[in-house]
Amino acid sequence: MGKKQETSPESSEYGEPAQFDPTFKGPMKKRGCTDIICLILFMAVILGYIVVGILAWLYGDPRHVLYPRNSTGWFCGIGPNKDQPNLFYMNILKCATSVNVMASALNGLQCPTTQVCVAQCPSTFWAVGIDMYFKKPAEVFNQSVCVPSLNLSNTILTVQQIVDKELCPYFYIPTVSVLGRCLPDLSSLGNIPSSFSNIPGLPTSVNETVGMIQNGTGDIVNGFNAKEIGVRIFEDFASSWPWILLGLLIAMVVSLLFLLLLRFTAPVMVWVLIIGVLGAGAYGIWHCYWEYANYKSASATITNVGFTTNLQVYLQVQETWLAFLIIISVVEAILLLTIIFLRTRILIAIALIQESSKAIGHMMSALVYPLVTFVLLLVCVAYWGATALYLATSGSPIYRVVALNSSQGDCSSISGNVSCDPQNFTAADYPGCPSASCIFIKYNNEGLFQRNLFNLQIYNVVAFLWCVNFVIALGHCTLAGAFASYYWAFTKPGDIPMFPVCGGFIRALRYHVGSLAFGALILTLVQIARILLEYIDQKTRAAQNPVARFILCCMKCCLWCLEKFIKFLNRNAYIMIAIYGKNFCVSAKNAFKLLMRNIIRVVVLDKVTDILLFFGKLLVVGGVGVLSFFFFSGRIRLPGNVFRSETLNYYWMPIITVVFGSYLIAHGFFSVYNMCVDTLFLCFLEDLERNDGSLQKPYFMSKNLMKILNKSNKAQKKGKGKE
């Protein structure tokens, strides 16, 4: 009773400490399904997500994006035009005056001019001169860039009629293939022949022609013309991929060794970092005093200097260094006192980190589980991307009758609102307007399915975020169950169950999908709120005043903090779910109260672990990155010319790949380690509250932890002592 009265004043605000349970031997075996309502909701959302994907697949056609489409509605590069992968625009100047249409990739980069599929994009300057209008069409035009229905050798049309109907181009310039479209080669525009100023239909000034083309198509060409660079990068990967894989393998080995060696090096690393921080502070104090003494004879003071934007002036004032000296001394004193008073908790954090290395050493399969999480996340991302693409291309193309050259004939009857079929259209239906043509306008958005495309895209994003957060939650719960079974094994490794990771995974899927979905849903709602706030900020940025920007910034900061807090709470709730099998709310409440009863230990452990893992990632990524730089830049050469850096076009691409891959590998390994530390920490806190070291209630913690806390078990079986 006395012991209970002693602890109750401390713990009354955050609940009573956990009570001893003689039947508790680690993760509960007897448990039931939790948060069934959220499970049903999650399953309904998944089924709806599948239905959305099926509808998108039925109505969508990614070929609208992947392949260009000519004026008759056929795709270039497939089907009848298999050998003609490029789309040629008869009058590129009309594209230059339709920037909004041209810039829309989902609209196929269409523009109001006749388009034909060609095998090769034109690479020279050519135009129909005034003297050519009296020649035969076969002597003037190139059949490969004319509409397929026109046979130049048998046509009865004149050159003028062909030009007016846009059956063949009356000029073209050097072009390059950009996303399968023949767009101007901007580097050649400075070489336009002066004779182009005399071509009917073109501006009288060559500079005006150049300006129109550059303004209309320059951004597209510069933004998407990466074919040559892409080919070179592909060549670099093709010649260096074995060495990239070797670099990633080295990153994996270094990450694994670092985690396992923390068992022996954690105390040294932590105290070296602490001493380094204190040493840096001591040097700062000495340097400030030295500067203060140097400017002792100076006559300048803060009052004399006043306010100035030249900060260098303040460094020449004695009072500045005195202020720095006082501030650094106070901070140094606070750090020193904090370390002195928290030395026991720092030792506990180090011991838990060492214990985590032991746990990973006993269940190496835990290090493989991030691959499962990665594969599941890859499936989520791929499904989301495919669904978004199919939804974006789900409307059938709409064609309208337009006048390509309204100055020829009477085209006033053509309003641009009449639909047409490009494969069956004939200009003879409009005898007064010889330039009448059937042109692609947009994709259909008038059907029930098409009108709700935006809502379906929102559903796609929400379901994607929920699925991603659920996959991460499943990984946390699985690893927590495995590491909890390690801690609550009284004799290690004898009492550790077989296949603890598989056991944790099966328990999470069988009983706790609803609870994991509940936690994932809460996090998803916060992330959606952040996305909406960012969207509002982007849309209203031009109209914002300083007060509005300040309010939006504060709101974004608050939501960011809320997301971090929910991730922290969810993580610990999943640990309690894995151990006790309770629902999400009860688990989150118990975890929060347990942590609040030990808040100082939580802060110390969190910061010590963060510092160690930060330096671990820095070691892995920095070390492998430097090694790859020296190797791929040619500073390290292999004997026998096995690999030469001179064969690479851009040696920095393999380096970036290795660095990025090393970070992902290190993050995957260290996330397992971080989960292990958090799980063992919660188990350790529960162990302290449940047990007292007696024969009936022995501690499950390691001897090292008991030694730090001056605790011990009264009796243990011989030969089965703790590690």
Distance, CA of 38 to CA of 42 (rounded, Å): 6
Q: What is the DSSP string of 628-647?
A: HHHHHTTSS--GGGS--GGG
Task: State mean pLDDT over 194-213.
Answer: 69
Instruction: Give me the percent of the chain exceeding a pLDDT of 90.
Output: 17
Radius of gyration of the chain (CA): 36
Q: Report whether pLDDT(388) > 70.
A: yes
Supply the mean pLDDT for the chain. Answer: 80
Per-residue model confidence as pLDDT tens digits over 571-595: 999 999 999 889 999 999 999 988 8
In sign, the C-alpha dihedral spanning 173, 176, 177, 181 is negative
Asked if the model's pLDDT at residue 335 lies above 90, the reply is no
Amino acid found at 354? Q
Q: Which long-range contacts (CB under 8 A, 24 or more apart) does 375-378 make?
A: 376/471, 376/474, 377/468, 377/471, 377/472
Q: Is 181 helix (H, G, I), strand (E, B) or coil?
A: strand
pLDDT at 170: 86
More confidently predicted of 8 and 656: 656
Spatial CA neighbour of 90 closest among 211, 195, 201: 201
Q: Name which of 207-216, 238-247, 280-289 the model is least confident about.
A: 207-216
Neighbours of 515 (CB within 10 A): 30
- Does position 50 have pLDDT exceeding 60, yes or no? yes
Helix (H, G, I), strand (E, B) or coil at 439: strand
DSSP tag of 427: G
**pLDDT at res. 2:** 39
Give per-residue burial for 287-319: e unless 16+ CB within 10 Å, then b. ebbebbeebeeeeeeeeeeeeeeeeeeeeebbe
Q: How far apart are CA 520 and CA 476, in angstroms?
A: 12
Asked if the peptide bond before residue 493 counts as cis, ω within 30 degrees of 0, the response is: yes
Residue 207 has pLDDT above 70, yes or no: no
Q: Say if strands 126-127 and 171-172 run parallel, antiparallel, or are unpaired.
A: antiparallel
Residue 468 has which token pair? 């991603």
- Closest by alpha carbon to 552, among 566, 570, 578, 534? 534
- pLDDT of 36 reads 93
* Domain range list for the chain: 67-202, 264-363, 397-443
List, in sequence order, every residue forming a beta bridge with 172; answer none if it has no partner.
Answer: 126
Query: What's the half-sphere exposure (Cβ side, CA atoms, 13 Å) at 53?
Result: 16
Rounded CA separation 616/638 (Å): 28
Tokens, residue 514: 């609803």
Mean pLDDT, residues 327-354: 85
The pair of structure tokens assigned to 651 is 């040696």
Please say if the pLDDT value at position 626 is more than 50. Answer: yes
251: number of CA atoms within 13 Å, CB side?
A: 32
Q: How do the residues of the chain divide into helix, strand and coil, expressed in percent and rounded to 5?
A: 65, 5, 30
Nearest to 157 by CA among 113, 147, 425, 421: 147
Does residue 101 or residue 512 have the better pLDDT? 512
Q: Is the pLDDT higher at 665 or at 710?
A: 665
What is the DSSP secondary-structure string of 503-516? HHHHHHHHH-HHHH
Question: Mean pLDDT throughout 694-709?
Answer: 81
Burial class, 650, CB count within 10 angstroms (exposed 0-12 / middle 13-18 / buried 19+): middle
Q: Average pLDDT for residues 425-452, to the nearest whole number? A: 68
Kindly report the backbone phi and psi dihedral angles of residue 394, in degrees, each rounded to the nearest multiple of 5, phi listed first: -85, -15
**Residue 400 forms beta bridges with which residues?**
419, 439
- The confidence score (pLDDT) of residue 428 equals 67
Distance, in Å, from the CA atom of 165 to the CA atom of 42, rounded to the nearest integer, reads: 58
Helix segments in 35-170, DSSP class H: 36-59, 63-66, 92-96, 99-102, 137-140, 159-164
- Of residues 91 and 384, more confidently modeled: 384
Six-digit token pair at 2?
A: 């006395």
| Residue pLDDT, tens place only, 296-330 | 766 556 655 556 555 566 666 777 788 888 999 99
The Cα-based distances of 561 to 470, 533, 569 in angstroms read: 21, 14, 12
Task: Give mean pLDDT, residues 393-414.
Answer: 70
Q: Quick check: 573 and 682 in contact, CB under 8 A? A: no
HSE value, Cβ hemisphere, 13 Å, CA-based, for 22: 3
Here the tokens at position 303 are 């009052």
Dihedral (C-alpha) 589, 343, 672, 678: value to the nearest 10 degrees?
Answer: -10
- What integer pLDDT is reported at residue 557 of this predicted model? 93
Q: Which of 69, 81, 114, 64 is nearest to 396 (CA)?
A: 64
Strand partners, 87: 117, 181
Q: 106 φ, ψ to 5°?
A: -70, -20
Q: Helix or strand or coil: residue 656?
A: helix
140-149, 526-535, 547-556, 605-614: the lowest-pLDDT one: 605-614
Least reliable range by pLDDT among 103-107, 151-155, 673-677: 103-107
Bin 128: left if φ > 0, else alpha if -120 < ψ < 50, else beta.
Answer: beta
Q: Which residue did the predictor score with more confidence, 266 or 509?
A: 509
For 177, the 3-state DSSP assignment is strand
Structure token pair of residue 696: 């009936």
Cβ atoms < 10 Å from Cβ of 205? 11
**In a 3-state reduction of DSSP, which class is residue 126?**
strand
Residue 584 pLDDT:
94
pLDDT tier at 52 (50, 70, 90 boundaries)?
Answer: very high
Higher pLDDT, 433 or 644: 433
574 closest CA partner among 474, 488, 491, 458: 474
Q: How far apart are CA 533 and CA 171, in angstroms?
A: 50
Question: At 533, is the secondary structure helix, strand, or coil?
Answer: helix
For the stretch 667-686, pLDDT in tens is 888 888 888 888 988 888 88
